[in-house]
Amino acid sequence: MTGEREPRDGSGETEKSEDRQSAGDQESPADWPVALRGVTESVVTTLGPNDLWNVAALGLHPPEESGPSDESDGPAADESSGDPDDESTPKAPVTATTWGNTRTRRNFHRQGRGYVQFTRNPVDYVDAALSIFEIDEPVLDSADAWVEVEVEQVDSGEDGGTRWEQWELYPREASVERETVPTTNRGFSAVVEATVAASRLGVDAYDQTKLRERLAYFEEVARACGDDRVCAATDRLREYVEE
């Protein structure tokens, strides 16, 4: 999922230059700072034409999971981090999918790169998933780890009237900012799942009544199981939904 609320017609921006060297043809000097399994929820920053870094949610698929599926489908993100030396850390390209004519899609075409980040801050995640969230520097203060990636579009299509584009992500530089003992918090996971439902509101392909029911359920879980930050993120999500 990229949560930026943008026109979904896929129109309007100049594509990447044809003479730019394919990202996949270059040797990668870095590796992913975490082990990726299933769908890993992240945020990505991409440089826009206003020289600000746009922040959006992005689901990462290991090679065996790659395909044009929604960027946030799959297990809810938890607060764990992996070992870069773990054999499950993918060596082949990780993939992600953008949906609609979002800022992330346009900036990927324009710049060919971005910064994928892993954060446990639920407010940052909600802002990234459901709003236009821009910052001056490429890395969030809340990022536990980040990786600069070059991207290459490898597939595209349409699903339910929405254009999707699949990208391969090639790590070029990575850093772990802080390490933590992994814990699993239902409140944080509920916030992540709530952003998925919220991002689909107004999309004809989805049952709107069921989406509202899912939102109500995950909001209840978040408030019952989350800490003050999770509750603040839930309040923020509610504001975005009611706009």
CATH number at residue 237: 1.20.58
2 against 215, higher pLDDT: 215
Q: Is residue 5 part of a domain?
A: no
Residue 33 sits in a domain whose CATH number is 2.30.110.10
Mind listing the pLDDT tens digit for each residue in 76-91? 333 334 454 554 554 6
Mark which of 176, 204, 234 sits at the end of a domain. 176
Mean pLDDT of the chain: 85
Listed in sequence order, the residues at least 6 apart from 152 whose beta carbon sits closer than 8 Å to its beta carbon are: 22, 23, 24, 112, 167, 168, 170
83 against 201, higher pLDDT: 201
Measured CA to CA, the distance from residue 167 to residue 155 in angstroms comes to 7
- Report which secondary-structure segment, H or E, holds 162: strand 162-176
Domain range enclosing 237: 186-242
pLDDT of residue 23: 58
Residues 196 and 169 in one domain: no
Residues 166 and 64 in one domain: yes
Q: Is residue 3 part of a domain?
A: no
Residues 172 and 199 in one domain: no
Considering its fold, how many domains does the chain have in total?
2
pLDDT of residue 92: 80
Residues 132 and 208 in one domain: no
pLDDT of residue 45: 99
Listed in sequence order, the residues at least 6 apart from 218 whose beta carbon sits closer than 8 Å to its beta carbon are: 190, 191, 193, 194, 197
Phi and psi at residue 83, to the nearest 5°: -100, 120
Residues 193 and 106 in one domain: no
Measured CA to CA, the distance from residue 224 to residue 228 in angstroms comes to 11
Residue corresponding to tokens 């070059």: 150
Mind listing the pLDDT tens digit for each residue in 159-173? 988 899 999 999 999
